[in-house]
């Protein structure tokens, strides 16, 4: 998603709202922990108008689109 412009444009065109991990090698437990640890920030960001993509890191989220 970070490196694929066509995917980002599809999100914009369709008005999608996404939260995703920037790494594909995380265990299910690590991925769940990231989402739970950032739940307040995710809930706040979810109120933003679409489209958007947020990357979910260990202790923060960052808007990509």
User: Cα separation of 52 and 17, whole Å?
Assistant: 5
pLDDT above 90 for 16: yes
pLDDT for residue 3: 81
Q: Which of 63, 40, 39 is nearest to 51 (CA)?
A: 63
| pLDDT-above-70 percentage for the chain | 98
Q: Given pLDDT bands bounded at 50, 70 and 90, which one contains residue 1?
A: low
pTM score of the predicted model: 0.88
At 31-54, the pLDDT tens digits run 999 999 999 999 999 999 999 999
pLDDT for residue 2: 72
């Amino acid at each position: 998603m970070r490196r694929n412009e066509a995917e980002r444009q599809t999100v914009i065109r369709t008005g999608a709202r996404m939260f995703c991990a920037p790494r594909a090698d995380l265990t299910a437990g690590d991925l769940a922990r990231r989402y739970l640890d950032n739940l307040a920030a995710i809930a706040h960001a979810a109120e933003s108008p679409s489209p958007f993509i947020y990357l979910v890191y260990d202790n923060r989220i960052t808007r990509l689109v």
